[in-house]
Amino acid sequence: MLGTIVNAIAIIVGAGVGILFKKGLPPQMSDTLMKGLGLCTLFLGITGSLGGKNTLLLILSVVIGIIIGEAIDLDARLNRLGQKLENRFGKNKSATTRVSLAEGFVSASLLFCVGALAIIGSLESGLTGQHGILFNKSMIDFVAAAIFASTLGVGVMLSAGSIIIYQGAITLLSKWVAPMLTDIVIAEMTCVGSVILIGLAFNMMGITKLRIMNYVPAIFMPLLLYPLMTWLGIV
């Protein structure tokens, strides 16, 4: 778990730096930065999605994942939790300039958890006790957390909890999940997650208002669907 813990700490420290920087930003600059970060997220989503090779698997993963997410209504649950935390700990801010804690948490969690580095690095930690990949990821996430927290606020810092849960679970269960997380499955999970990042980018730029958290279960669908489709001879 050392690699995951270091990764989480890097995000917390990086976000802290970004939050300090945010205090000096005028509202207009903060809004422009948000849209600029949305464009960067769009680029990450597009480039990441190109690694997928099976369109049918992508479509099925997204459809089934959304059905699960909407049934549980993860987005509403998370926003209620975020609103409670904001009401309890938040400072008075203009409603037009405030970015919700939940929005920052979801955006940062997706950015830090989507991608092959999170999965491969966690497997390396669990199977070999080496943490090189996650240490490298930590440096990248530190910079990203500082940049995103300068606009998205304290929710970015809370996304360290997502890292602990997501990467920690893969690390602890690595001996059992490693056979399922083949190169193809990792590529397809990254593809699905990257498509969701594209939706997140549109939200950040104010183009759409997707209930993006309800899409998140789709990321894990290739774990189940790829073996089934292979067995059925579809892939």
Is residue 98 pLDDT above 80, yes or no?
Answer: no
More confident residue, 6 or 140: 6
- What does the pLDDT look like over 102-117, one tens digit per residue? 888 888 888 898 878 8
Question: From CA 150, how far away is CA 138, in angstroms rounded?
Answer: 18
State the pLDDT confidence band at 4, using cuts at 50, 70 and 90: very high
Mean pLDDT of the 161-170 span: 92
Burial class for 206, CB neighbours closer than 10 Å (0-12, 13-18, 19+) = exposed
State the pLDDT confidence band at 75, using cuts at 50, 70 and 90: confident
134, HSE (Cβ side, Cα atoms, 13 Å)? 32
State the pLDDT confidence band at 90, using cuts at 50, 70 and 90: low
pLDDT value for 94: 46
State the pLDDT confidence band at 224, using cuts at 50, 70 and 90: very high
Question: What percent of the chain is predicted at pLDDT more than 70?
Answer: 93
Among 10, 42, 27, CA closest to 199: 42
Structure-token pair, residue 214: 């309800």
State the pLDDT confidence band at 97, using cuts at 50, 70 and 90: very low
- Least confident interval from 76-80, 159-163, 183-187, 201-205: 76-80
Chain centroid offset of residue 106 CA: 7
What's the mean pLDDT when you consider all of the chain? Answer: 87
CB 216 within 8 A of CB 192: no
pLDDT value for 99: 57
pLDDT value for 175: 87
Question: From CA 33, how far away is CA 25, in angstroms rounded?
Answer: 10
- What does the pLDDT look like over 20-66, one tens digit per residue? 887 767 778 878 888 888 898 899 889 989 988 899 999 999 999 99
More confident residue, 174 or 101: 174
Is residue 123 pLDDT above 50, yes or no?
Answer: yes
Question: What percent of the chain is predicted at pLDDT more than 90?
Answer: 43
